[in-house]
Amino acid sequence: MSVSKIPTPESGIEIRQTFCGVCCSQMYCGVDAYVKDGKIIKVEGTADHPQNKGKLCVKGNALKDYVYSPNRIKTPLKRVGPRGSGQFEAISWEEAWEILGKNCKEIRKNYGPEGLTFFVGYEKWFRPFLHRLANAWGTPNYATESSTCASSVKIAWGLNAGIQGRPDTKNCKSYLGFSFNQYYSRFTEGLNMDTLFDRDVKFIIIDPRETPTVRRSNALHLQNIPGTDGAIALCLCHQFIQNGWADMDYIDKHVHGFAEFAEYVKEFTPEHTEEISGVSAADLVKAANILAENRPFAIHESVSPIVHHRNGMQNYRAMTALSAIAGCYDVEGGTLPRPVTYATQAAGFTTLEAAFMNAGRKEDFSKAHYIGYDEFPLRHTFLDEGQMMGFHRQVMEGTPYPIAGLIGFGHNIRIMPDPDAMVEAIKKLDFYCVVDLFQTEAADLADLVLPACTSVERDEFKVYSGGMAHYTKRAIDPIYESKPDVEIISEMAKALEVNDPLLYAGYDACLESILGNLSVTLDQLKSSRLPVPVPEAKPYIPGTYTAQGYKTPTGKFELWSTIIDQLPKSLNLDPLPTYRDSCDNADPEKYPLVLFTGSSLPHALHSRTHHIASLRQFRKEPAADISLVDAEALGIAQDDTIGLYTTAGEIIVKANLTPTIRPGTVSMYHGYKEADVNTIIPMSHCDPYSGFPGYKSIRCGMRRVEE
Report the CATH superfamily, name and number, of domain 165-337.
Dimethylsulfoxide Reductase, domain 2 (3.40.228.10)
Q: Helices H, strands E: what count in the chain?
A: 27, 27
Among 13-27, 334-348, 664-678, the range scoring the smallest mean pLDDT is 13-27
43 to 69, 471, 566, 696: CA distances (angstroms):
15, 19, 54, 35
Instruction: Flag whether pLDDT at 327 surpasses 80.
Output: yes
Number of CB atoms found within 10 A of residue 668's CB: 26
> What order do you get walking across the sheet with 460-464 strand by strand?
460-464, 468-472, 532-533
Beta strands in 20-148 (DSSP E): 30-36, 39-45, 77-79, 88-90, 116-120, 142-144
451 to 91, 125, 194, 475, 627: CA distances (angstroms):
11, 16, 40, 18, 43
pLDDT digits (tens, 9 = 90+) for 518-576: 999 999 999 999 999 999 999 999 999 999 999 999 999 999 999 999 999 999 999 99
- pLDDT the model gives residue 1: 45
User: Where are the domain boundaries for CATH 3.40.228.10 in the chain?
Assistant: 165-337
pLDDT digits (tens, 9 = 90+) for 442-494: 999 999 999 999 999 999 999 998 899 999 999 999 999 999 999 999 999 99
User: Where are the domain boundaries for CATH 3.30.200.210 in the chain?
Assistant: 3-67
Give the helix/strand (H/E) hosting 175.
strand 174-178
- pLDDT the model gives residue 368: 61
Q: For 584, list phi and psi in degrees, rounded to 5.
A: -80, -175
- Long-range pairs for 192-195: beta carbons < 8 A, 24 or more residues apart: 193/169, 193/217
What's the gap between Cα 462 and its chain centre? 18
User: Where are the domain boundaries for CATH 3.40.50.740 in the chain?
Assistant: 77-150+342-533
pLDDT digits (tens, 9 = 90+) for 164-201: 999 998 999 999 999 887 777 666 666 667 777 777 89
Residue 150: band (very low, low, confident or very high) from pLDDT cuts 50, 70, 90: confident
Domain 593-704, what fold?
Barwin-like endoglucanases (2.40.40)
Instruction: Please say whether the structural domain 3-67 has been given the CATH code 3.30.200.210.
Output: yes
CATH of domain 77-150+342-533: 3.40.50.740
- pLDDT the model gives residue 657: 97
Q: How far apart are CA 523 and CA 197, in angstroms?
A: 41
User: Where are the domain boundaries for CATH 2.40.40.20 in the chain?
Assistant: 593-704
Q: Output the pTM of the full model.
A: 0.94
